[in-house]
Amino acid sequence: MNETLTRSPTRPLLVGLIVTLAAVVADSYYVIGQVAGLRVLQRDLADRSRRDSLQLLRIQNDLNSVALAMRDMLDSDGPYPLAAWSGQFDRVRLDLDDALQREAQTAVGERTPEQARYLAGSVRQFWDAADRIFALARDGREREARAQIRLSLQARQAALSTAVARLLVENNASEEQMSLKVADIYARVQRQVYAFLAATFAAIVLTSLYLIRSNRRLFAEMASLAGQRRDLAQRLIASREAAYREISRELHDQFGQMLTAIGSMIGRVENRLPEGSPEKTDLRETREVAQTALENVRGLSQALHPSILEDAGFEAALDSYLSTVERQIGIAVTYERSPTPIPIDDAAGIHVYRVLQEALHNVARHANANSAIVRVSVGDGRLTLEVEDNGKGIAGGGTRGIGTVAMRERAELVGGTIEFLEPPGGGTLVRLTVPCP
């Protein structure tokens, strides 16, 4: 063991780990820097482009609202005079001015001063023309106002819509350029990642080869330690059962007898008191508390160590436990046993009994089952105990936990085997097989 420890692969593995981590840190630093730059680019360009497109669509929607309003204004059969449309035009003007200001702040593409002046001038000329038309309408010159809508206002609205559409096209072009920049960054990062993966793969291969050589030396020691652990676990189980047996006897013989004597003494004093007296009532309640404590002590004693196993044998202990287990775990339990007597001594019987308890408790806690079947059979010099449920099965994790480890240890302690199977119909089947004398 000392030789194995002196030849431990810890130091070379640490060196390999440090080299690998250094490569990871260096490449990660590069990748993080590139990704950070990409994030800034996407935040400053993609988000602005999205907001700019939304404002352009908002402007376009306002212009479409104006176009629909002008169409209704040209309808000579309409129920409203042209001046009635002034309020709607004012609301659209406010929203359009706000949208133009926001769009100018979020614009992505580089616009020339001529483009900015053209857009601002077109908007101003449109609203000037609209104001003149409403002035004519208020003066009662609606025919002339409608003519101005056809000749001037509609043309200016169409020109504005064309300008906004052109801005949308330019915005899409800016998004395409941004996509090309992002793709270029991704390509550079990808090349660096490939190089990093190659270096990391080489380091892992070298480290793994050394680890394989080391494992050949360590596996034998691990197997020896596992055997020692198994022996220790079995001794612990045996010691625990012995301690449970002693504690159970002490509870049953001393505390049980003391509580029985207390109850008898209280009963004698109670009989000497007249009916209806407060003292008699208090003594009756005290005797009931003592009786409840006695039952709890007996139940705890039975849980720690089933004395019936030593007094009446394994079969009687099994019958007694299965007759009460349904009430304890809240699951319907069916008991099937062969007519052949079960030739098993108390030393092995306690372990079989504990395996049965743990299996049924696992069914109640983990299996999500509503029924279980307990089968006990004897044949070919072996006792077979089976506990089958209709729950979620092994795939649902019903056989995992410290209880399962204890069941395996108990099976090995009596020279038997235990299996956790999944029947064709679903659920879990726990099968314990132990040799009979």
Contact predicate 31/193, CB 8 Å: yes
Indicate the angle between helix axes 154-250 and 278-304, nearest 10 degrees.
100
Beta strand 429-435 with 382-389 is antiparallel
pLDDT in tens, 259-276: 777 777 877 777 777 776
* Alpha-carbon distances of 412 from 186, 385, 415, 416, rounded to whole Å: 59, 15, 5, 5
Residue 260 main-chain phi, psi, to 5 deg? -65, -45
- Please report which helix (H) or strand (E) contains residue 429, including its range: strand 429-435
Q: Which residues pair with 383 in a beta bridge?
A: 378, 434
Residue type, 360: L
Mean pLDDT is highest, among 191-200, 335-344, 380-389, for 380-389
Return d(Cα 292, Cα 263) in angstroms, integer.
10
* Alpha-carbon distances of 213 from 228, 243, 415, rounded to whole Å: 24, 45, 35
Contacting residues for 433 by C-beta, under 8 A, at least 6 apart:
382, 383, 384, 385, 416, 417, 418
46-51: average pLDDT? 73
Contact predicate 367/388, CB 8 Å: no
For residue 399, pLDDT over 60 is answered with no
So what's the pLDDT on residue 50? 75
- Please report which helix (H) or strand (E) contains residue 17, including its range: helix 10-41
Return d(Cα 103, Cα 107) in angstroms, integer.
6
pLDDT in tens, 50-77: 777 787 788 888 888 888 888 878 776 6
Mean pLDDT is highest, among 3-7, 25-29, 60-64, 112-116, for 60-64
Q: Which residues pair with 332 in a beta bridge?
A: 371
- Please report which helix (H) or strand (E) contains residue 374, including its range: strand 371-379
pLDDT in tens, 267-318: 777 777 777 677 777 777 787 787 777 767 666 666 666 666 767 777 887 8
Contacts 24+ apart (CB under 8 A), 267-276: none
Name the band, by pLDDT with cuts 50, 70 and 90, for residue 2: very low
pLDDT in tens, 71-128: 878 776 666 788 787 888 888 888 888 888 887 777 765 666 777 778 788 888 888 8
Q: Residue 26 CA to chain centroid, in angstroms?
A: 33
317-334: average pLDDT? 80
So what's the pLDDT on residue 1? 42
Q: CA 425, 428, 434: angle at the middle one, nearest 5?
A: 120
- Please report which helix (H) or strand (E) contains residue 388, including its range: strand 382-389
pLDDT in tens, 193-221: 777 778 777 777 777 777 777 767 777 77
Tokens matching residue 346: 């108390």
In order of their start, the domains of the chain are 2-211 (no CATH), 307-435 (3.30.565.10)
Residue type, 114: E
365-389: average pLDDT? 86
So what's the pLDDT on residue 205? 78
Return d(Cα 437, Cα 418) in angstroms, integer.
19
Return d(Cα 65, Cα 93) in angstroms, integer.
11
pLDDT in tens, 171-196: 777 777 777 777 777 777 778 777 77
Contact predicate 372/388, CB 8 Å: yes
146-156: average pLDDT? 82
In the chain, what percentage of residues exceed pLDDT 70? 80
More confident residue, 41 or 48: 48
Tokens matching residue 40: 């800034």
Indicate the angle between helix axes 256-272 and 278-304, nearest 10 degrees.
160
